[in-house]
Amino acid sequence: MRTTLPLLLLTAAPAFAANYATCILDKMPGVANDVAAQAVYNSCLEKYPEDVKQGSGRGFFGYASSTECIADKARDTRSAKAAQFIGFACRKLYDDEGGPWLQFR
């Protein structure tokens, strides 16, 4: 029983926003219009002004690729602007360095 709580917290850790990109991925999916997408963007930028390290989302509990992340997170998002923000965040977290998304803010 003592190990259950730490394991549960460890597996739930990716659900908590820890940086700008994870904030976008937590709050942007399902956004229906561009005004709301811009509000989420501004909110995450105010809360997490520092840059995100390229590829920092890769790991045991993350997505296998940015395309898998985008397909999952942007699936029910009607706003094209919100879907773009999701795409930038997924690429930042799950791709190697060297893409045009390196400065997405």
Question: Tens of pLDDT along the chain (105 residues)?
Answer: 455 444 444 444 444 558 999 999 999 999 999 999 999 999 999 999 888 888 888 877 789 899 999 999 999 999 999 999 999 999 999 998 755 544 554
Per-residue CA distances from 17 to 14, 39, 105 (Å) = 7, 16, 17
Q: Considering Cα of 13, then 18, then 23, then 25, what sign does the dihedral take? A: negative
* Interatomic CA distance for residues 70 and 51, integer angstroms: 20
Structure tokens at 68: 């898998």
Provide the whole-model pTM: 0.76
